Each structure stands twice: as structure tokens, then as C-alpha cells.
């Protein structure tokens, strides 16, 4: 089943034409990577999907239903979760409270928290600690765990490895791998090897357009070309 279908979206900030006809899909169960240099429109693509910035042309469909122009809250209610680049913790609240807030079905808070701590055993020892006191890697893990307890069918994850040391990136990658057995992922990543490792398919964006796409299994052939786009 096609969970998400973005068709030929054109998105602007004021007069600036940022996305110039982006199309992509995410099937149920897939992890899809959106890669590309700084400023090519990756975050804008996620914002467009969530209708935080509605496209002027083109459409966004969730399970075949056109959600273009709906409020972000209504899009989220259809099973889309967002893990933004800045992670958006409630820094004065504990890890557990941050997770509780994300549970939509309040009758199931206990079970959801237990599941989160099972998937992220490292988090359990921090459950009473203020989220603002955690390291960047630990906060990223809380952000991913929040996506997990939120019962989302698709998580939009923006640059999860940003600013993290290589060893911590590996832990975060492992968290995403675990979450991907429960939910589909659309992953914005500038770390090319990480994106290739986690994703089934990829889209390469440049200047607001998809310039390459395919299975990550086939990527070695195109490797040089992709790297050129990423470093240009
Ligand atoms: N709120 C805004 N108003 C005007 N221009 C914006 C706004 N947000 C982003 N832009 C511009 O839109 C373009 C695309 O930005 P976007 O954040 O989508 O890129 P990105 O590929 O996610 O890059 P990064 O990795 O730096 O976040 C950039 O040129 C950026 O300067």
C-alpha cells in the first residue's frame, strides 16, 4: 500500500520558489531517505508534507486521500509524526513526561511507555531526568521514542545524526532501525553512508528537484554521481 504520495509539489517562501515539482512515495513498511546538500529543500519537503508550508501546486496524499491544504493537526491525525531537526524537547519535563505527552491513546499510556523502554533500554535509566539535561544523542533518542509511542504510521525524521559524534550516531541509527520495524520512515539525512545503510530507497534532491532516485542496493553504481551532488 502506498502510504504517502507527494505529486509534483511547488512550494514557496514568499517569492522564493523552493520546491520545483518534487514527487516521491513511501510504501507501508519502507524506510526512504531524502538526501542532498544544505539548502536544497529537504526540510521544506517535510514541511510541505505536513502542510506547515502548503504547496502552491501539486498534491500530498496519505493512503490515497488528498490532504493538500488541510491543517497540520489534521495531517498528523492521519498517522504522521514529525521529529524536527531541533528535536523540540520539553526541556523542563522529565524523559517520561515527554513520552507521556506524545501518547495519543491515553488509555494505553502504561503499555506504550513499557514498549518504548523495551525498544530503548538505555532511556529507562534517564526516565526521571529532565530532558534538557540530556546529551544531544540522548535527546535524539527521546525524540525518536516519542515518535514511536505516538502510534504513527509514518515518521518524518529530519537530520537525526546532525551534530552528534560518530559513536553516538551509531546508537541513534540502531534506534531508527528498531523503530522501522513498527513504522515507516522518511528520513532526511546528509550523512550519505548512514542514509544508505538505513533506507530501502532514496531520493536525491538538488535545487528543489529530485535528480536521482532508486533502491539503496543499486547505489554503488551511481555512487560517484551522488557524491558529486552531495559535495557540489
Ligand atoms: N522560513 C523561510 N523563509 C524563507 N526562506 C527559507 C525559509 N526556510 C528555508 N528557506 C530557504 O529555503 C531553501 C531550502 O531550505 P531547506 O531548509 O528546505 O533546505 P534543506 O535541504 O533542508 O537544508 P538544511 O540541511 O540546511 O536544512 C534554503 O535556501 C533556505 O534558505
Model pLDDT for residues 127-166, shown as the tens digit of each residue? 999 999 998 888 999 999 999 998 899 999 999 998 888 8
Centre of ligand 1 to C-alpha 162, Å, is 16
Distance 18 CA to ligand 1 centre (A): 8
Question: What is residue 222's predicted lDDT score, i.e. its pLDDT?
Answer: 59
**pLDDT value, residue 8:** 98
Ligand 1 close to Cβ of residue 36 (< 6 A): yes
pTM recorded for the entire structure: 0.92
* pLDDT computed for residue 43 by the predictor: 96
Q: Which CATH number does the domain housing residue 176 bear?
A: 3.40.50.300
Nearest 10 degrees: Cα torsion 12, 37, 160, 20: 30
- Domain range for 99 is 2-231
**Residue where the block lists cell 515518521:** 155
Q: Which of 11, 17, 19, 43 to mutate to test the pocket of ligand 1 (most atoms within 8 A of CB)?
A: 43
204 neighbors 229 (Cβ within 8 angstroms): yes
Measured from the CB, is residue 150 less than 6 Å from ligand 1? Answer: no
Write the pLDDT tens digit of every residue in 52-66. Answer: 999 999 999 999 999
Nearest residue to 182 via CA among 31, 21, 26: 31
Torsion of CA 141, 152, 55, 88, to 10 degrees: -30
pLDDT computed for residue 232 by the predictor: 55
> How many domains does the structure of the chain reveal?
1
CA distances from 185 to 25, 129, 188 (A): 11, 28, 10
Look at residues 68, 92, 86 and name the one whose alpha carbon lies nearest to residue 78.
Answer: 68
pLDDT value at position 117?
Answer: 92
Distances (CA, A) of 76 to 23, 56, 67, 156: 20, 20, 10, 11
Residues of the chain falling short of pLDDT 50: none
CA of 219 to the centre of ligand 1 (A): 26
Helices (H) and strands (E) in the chain, counts: 9, 10
pLDDT at 89: 82
Give dist(CA 69, CA 222) in Å, integer: 36
The complex scores an ipTM of 0.92
Amino acid at each position: 500500500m502506498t502510504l504517502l504520495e507527494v505529486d509534483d509539489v511547488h512550494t514557496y517562501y514568499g517569492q522564493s520558489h523552493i520546491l520545483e515539482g518534487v514527487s516521491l512515495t513511501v510504501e507501508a513498511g519502507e524506510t526512504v531517505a531524502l538526501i542532498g546538500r544544505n539548502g536544497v529543500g529537504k526540510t521544506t519537503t517535510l514541511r510541505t508534507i505536513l502542510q506547515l508550508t502548503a504547496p502552491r501546486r501539486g498534491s500530498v496524499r496519505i493512503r490515497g486521500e488528498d490532504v493538500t491544504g488541510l491543517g497540520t493537526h489534521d495531517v498528523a491525525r492521519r498517522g504522521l509524526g514529525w521529529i524536527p531537526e531541533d528535536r523540540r524537547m520539553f526541556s523542563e519535563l522529565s524523559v517520561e513526561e515527554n513520552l507521556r505527552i506524545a501518547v495519543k491513546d491515553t488509555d494505553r499510556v502504561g503499555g506504550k511507555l513499557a514498549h518504548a523502554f523495551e525498544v530503548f533500554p538505555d532511556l529507562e535509566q534517564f526516565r526521571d531526568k529532565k530532558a534538557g539535561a540530556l546529551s544531544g544523542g540522548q535527546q535524539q533518542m527521546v525524540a525518536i521514542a516519542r515518535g514511536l509511542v505516538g502510534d504513527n504510521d509514518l515518521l518524518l525524521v529530519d537530520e537525526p545524526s546532525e551534530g552528534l559524534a560518530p559513536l553516538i550516531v551509531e546508537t541513534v541509527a540502531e534506534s531508527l532501525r528498531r523503530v522501522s520495524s513498527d513504522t515507516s520512515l522518511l528520513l532526511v539525512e546528509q550523512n550519505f553512508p548512514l542514509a544508505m545503510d538505513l533506507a530501502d530507497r532514496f531520493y536525491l534532491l538538488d535545487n528543489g528537484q529530485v535528480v536521482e532516485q532508486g533502491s539503496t542496493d543499486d547505489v554503488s553504481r551511481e555512487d560517484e554521481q551522488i557524491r558529486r551532488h552531495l559535495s557540489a
